[in-house]
Amino acid sequence: MTKNKAKIGVLLVNLGTPDSTATGDVRKYLREFLMDGRVIDFPFIPRWMLVNLIIAPFRAPKSAKEYRKLWTDRGSPLLFHTQDLKDKLIPKLDPEKYIVEMAMRYQTPSIEDGLNKLNKANVQKIIVLPLFPQYASATNGSVADRVMEIARTWQIIPNITFINNFVEHPLFLEAWAELGRDMMAKDEYDMYLFSYHGLPERQIRKGSVDGYCQLSDKCCSNYTKKNQFCYRGQCFHTTRLLAAKLGLPEEKVMTCFQSRLGKDPWIKPYTEDVIKELAEKGIKKVLVFSPAFVADCLETTVEVGEEYKEEFEELGGEKWDLVPSLNSNDTWVACVKDLVETNS
């Protein structure tokens, strides 16, 4: 690349986290997050009433307590691991060619600030990498929406590439496999659980191509051009790829979905139900992977690592270990570098 050619901007985007564990900050975060029409996909007025009159006031104090269990000297793990990822990525990329920023979809640092920094640097192209391995309208779709909302105010809109899914990337799979092997070297397990963030079933139906996704085991047991963006289909596909890479026998592998919100049906099986089923079957030692998250966060460390563990142990389980997330693991950094370079 010649020295006078404009650089390529890279924007890494994760979900977002409260600015602090104060109930007011958690409420502010929940309001911004849940008022996103791609997250709670109701028309504006019912969404506003649900979020502002019910969820935010009642959930904020409860969530703030949970966030206090998660918080570290460096703040929220989701945020500082994303910063570490950016810091480790920068020296791996050609400085003449790339400029890298990171942002959170909700709260800070904002997508707007990140994009404006790239725009001021007069980049020729922007690569947006939402840090969600499996596409969902509530995550990747929402990031794309917000990016376009900002870019459409610019006089010059450079080329913008969105990386919408990377479940098949060999280094993504290898990074998880390395972390899994580290755990498996220390102990033996009766069952390997792959617990993904859930999603309302309605949102899967809305994105179903030609009615392909019926939320059954049949449609999600294949990964085809019809369900390439079905979140549930991508999650099952991730499990199959990781299980194959780790050489796990089929009968010792299960996929399930956690973190439900509200009364509508969410994609199944629910992790809570699977925990009961495992305990009833006399399963004692479980290793849990959470490959919808690339950084430790509330939903992994507290929900899976503490709450589900307690539930399993109360039902007679003996061992419930959580594989730590990718965070700024070297193989994961190499994956992000490759995603950026191959999309340049």
Ligand X SMILES: C=CC1=C(C)c2cc3[nH]c(cc4nc(cc5[nH]c(cc1n2)c(C)c5CCC(=O)O)C(CCC(=O)O)=C4C)c(C)c3C=C
Residue ranges of the binding site for Fe(2+): 197, 299
Annotated binding site: 197, 299
Least Å distance, CB 326 to ligand X, is: 12
Least Å distance, CB 108 to ligand X, is: 12
Which of ligand X, Fe ion, none does residue 213 bind to, with CB < 5 to 8 Å depending on kind? Answer: Fe ion
Q: Does 55 bind Fe ion (CB under 5 A)?
A: no
Least Å distance, CB 144 to ligand X, is: 14
CB 68 within 8 A of CB 61: no
DSSP 30-81: HHHHHTSTTTS-S-HHHHHHIIIIIIHHHHHHHHHHHHHHH-BTTB-HHHHH
By C-beta, is 119 or 139 nearer to ligand X? Answer: 139
Q: Strand order of the sheet with strand 319-322?
A: 253-258, 191-197, 285-289, 319-322
Which of Fe ion, ligand X, none does residue 219 bind to, with CB < 5 to 8 Å depending on kind? Answer: Fe ion
Which tokens in the block code for residue 271?
């992790």
Considering only CA atoms, which of 169, 110, 101, 84 is closest in space to residue 134? 169
Cα torsion angle, 93, 95, 99, 100, sign: positive
Name the one range near ligand X by CB under 6 A: 114-122, 170-178, 241-249, 297-305: 297-305
CB 254 within 8 A of CB 194: yes
Of residues 122-151, those binding ligand X (CB under 6 A): 132, 136, 138-139
> How many C-beta atoms lie closer than 10 Å to residue 311's C-beta?
16
Q: Does 292 bind ligand X (CB under 6 A)?
A: yes
Of residues 54-113, those binding ligand X (CB under 6 A): 59, 63, 76, 78
CB 260 within 8 A of CB 199: no
Alpha carbon distance 268, 274 (integer Å): 10
Least Å distance, CB 30 to ligand X, is: 6
Q: Does 36 bind ligand X (CB under 6 A)?
A: no
Of residues 196-225, those binding ligand X (CB under 6 A): 197, 199-200
Of residues 231-250, those binding Fe ion (CB under 5 A): 232-233
Which of Fe ion, ligand X, none does residue 297 bind to, with CB < 5 to 8 Å depending on kind? Answer: ligand X
CB 26 within 8 A of CB 67: yes
Strand partners, 72: 75
Compute how many residues bind ligand X; rule: CB under 6 A.
22
Q: Which residues contact ligand X by CB under 6 A? A: 15, 17, 30, 39, 59, 63, 76, 78, 132, 136, 138-139, 197, 199-200, 259, 261, 292-293, 297-299
Q: Which residues contact Fe ion by CB under 5 A? A: 213, 219-220, 227, 230, 232-233
